């Protein structure tokens, strides 16, 4: 990777979705921090807790856009805590795996709640709103801090890199807030073309589409972290959500193709006949399974990303809800892979015959990767 010197070591703070029990969230936050650090900046992630984190302090002032419940705060806390634990729970072993990976990152002082962040904001030369769905108004917590409104230094630079809304439309009141909050940014890079279309009418400056931060690092970096699996000639399925129909389809494809099926998901807690279930895989395992898969199939945006990056021989992405699948559609369109959206009508022959032109894919990747790196270098 060619590195440009940035002169004096400026301090950079990133606010993003981090320390999440989610492979994609961990990898994207790590990637942006790592790349900016490689460029020579003193970079750290602002360690703001979210409702799913233990010790989170709720705010009465900073409220979510779409989930304002006018009943006791204690009841809200209990409801949120119950559902967050149910969705994001990890076994002690898997929690240890995530913690070990996240410890590589440099963090700011801990902020247990949004009120704490505004009361004593961290000081940097450059503030960055990072990637993931940081601007999704459907979150059960306030997204205002992710627009850097806590920054008090008017001379500090504000950048958004690969920030995502995750929706095709936002409401009128949300547009008003977005317009106000984005007016102070020096540069705005978003992850999906739909976000470009949504935000362009709201700001005077240019909105640039850039790649997810995981694309910033060389493929060799990810390969150096990956753990090669013991099995060969397998179908790798990385699933965010449990879907019995989806799993039945995967078992059918596995049987037809006579390939082993690896079901990699922390939401599958019981054995599945005809498949190897991996529900405590490390991030190294996650990367290694993608790298050596004959065919990878996923319902995840970052599953799609790492199918591309790690060189799966072939891959498909399953989108259950088209309205929430904009980021996958956008990514596949960018790489000319729109035909790799999975439908359950496809047979194993259909999947295998619709092969990927890896040379063409790499050509697009290198071009878009350079554009995204240049966006950061020019604006940092």
Distance between CA atoms of residues 299 and 7, nearest Å: 42
Distances in Å between the Cα of 136 and the Cα atoms of 195, 302, 303 are: 11, 17, 20
Q: How confident is the model at residue 355 (pLDDT cuts 50, 70, 90)?
A: confident
pLDDT in tens, 79-113: 444 444 444 567 888 889 899 999 999 999 999 99
pLDDT in the model for residue 68: 53
Beta strand pairing call for 234-238 and 260-264: parallel
Domain with CATH 3.40.50.2000 in the chain: 220-366
pTM: 0.91
Confidence bin at 121 (pLDDT 50/70/90):
very high
| Length in residues, the chain | 380
Residue 8 has pLDDT above 80, yes or no: no
- Whether the per-residue pLDDT at 4 is higher than 70: the answer is no
CATH number for 220-366 (one of 3.40.50.720, 3.90.700.10, 1.20.210.10, 3.40.50.2000): it is 3.40.50.2000
Query: What mean pLDDT comes out for the span 248-268?
Result: 94
pLDDT tens, position by position, 311-327: 888 999 999 877 667 88
CATH of 11-217, one of 3.30.110, 1.10.390, 3.40.50, 1.10.8: 3.40.50
pLDDT score, position 312: 85
Residue with the bigger pLDDT between 296 and 77: it is: 296
pLDDT for residue 70: 47
Q: What pLDDT score was predicted for residue 84?
A: 45
pLDDT digit string, tens, across residues 132-177: 899 999 999 999 999 999 999 999 999 999 999 988 899 999 999 9
- Both tokens of 362, joined, read 């790499």
Burial class (CB in 10 A: 0-12, 13-18, 19+), 269: exposed
Q: Supply 132's token pair.
A: 């993931």
Residue 31 clears pLDDT 50, i.e. is over it: yes
CB of 130 closer than 8 Å to CB of 162: yes
Tens digit of each residue's pLDDT (9 = 90 or more) over 53-85: 889 999 999 999 986 544 444 454 454 444 444
Give me the phi and psi of 106, to 5 degrees please: -90, 130
| Residue 266 near residue 90, CB atoms below 8 Å | yes
Contacts by residues 152-157 (CB-CB < 8 Å, ≥ 24 positions apart): 152/121, 153/123, 156/124, 156/125, 156/126, 156/127, 157/125, 157/126, 157/127, 157/186, 157/379, 157/380
Q: What is the mean pLDDT of the chain?
A: 90
């Amino acid at each position: 990777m060619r590195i440009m010197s940035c002169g004096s070591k400026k301090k950079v703070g990133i606010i993003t979705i981090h320390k999440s029990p989610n492979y994609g969230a961990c990898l994207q936050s790590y990637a942006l921090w790592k790349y900016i650090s490689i460029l020579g900046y003193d970079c750290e992630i602002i360690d703001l807790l979210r409702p799913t984190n233990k010790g989170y302090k709720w705010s009465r002032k900073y409220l979510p856009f779409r989930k304002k419940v006018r009943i006791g705060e204690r009841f809200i806390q209990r409801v949120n805590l119950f559902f967050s634990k149910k969705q994001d729970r990890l076994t002690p072993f898997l929690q240890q795996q995530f913690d070990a990976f996240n410890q590589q990152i440099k963090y700011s002082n801990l902020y247990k709640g949004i009120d704490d962040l505004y009361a004593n904001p961290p000081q940097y030369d450059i503030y960055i709103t990072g990637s993931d769905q940081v601007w999704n108004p459907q979150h059960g917590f306030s997204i205002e801090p992710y627009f850097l409104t806590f920054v008090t230094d008017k001379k500090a630079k504000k950048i958004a890199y690969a920030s995502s809304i995750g929706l095709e439309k936002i409401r009128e009141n949300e547009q008003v807030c977005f317009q106000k909050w984005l007016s102070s940014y020096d540069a705005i890079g978003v992850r999906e073309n739909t976000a470009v279309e949504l935000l362009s009418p709201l700001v005077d400056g240019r909105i640039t589409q850039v790649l997810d931060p995981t694309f910033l690092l060389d493929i060799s970096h990810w390969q150096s972290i990956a753990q090669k699996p013991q099995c060969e000639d397998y179908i790798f399925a990385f699933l965010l959500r449990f879907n019995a129909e989806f799993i039945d389809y995967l078992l059918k494809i596995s049987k037809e193709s006579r390939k082993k099926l690896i079901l990699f998901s922390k939401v599958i807690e019981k054995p599945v006949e005809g498949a190897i279930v991996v529900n405590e895989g490390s991030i190294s395992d996650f990367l290694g399974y993608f790298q050596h898969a004959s065919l990878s199939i996923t319902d995840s945006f970052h599953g799609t990303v790492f199918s591309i990056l790690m060189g799966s021989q072939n891959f498909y992405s399953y989108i259950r809800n088209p309205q929430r699948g904009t980021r996958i559609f956008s990514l596949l369109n960018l790489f000319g892979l729109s035909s790799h959206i999975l439908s359950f009508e496809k047979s194993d022959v259909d999947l295998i015959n619709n092969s990927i032109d890896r040379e063409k894919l790499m050509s697009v990747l290198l071009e878009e990767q350079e554009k995204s790196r240049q966006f950061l270098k020019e604006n940092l």
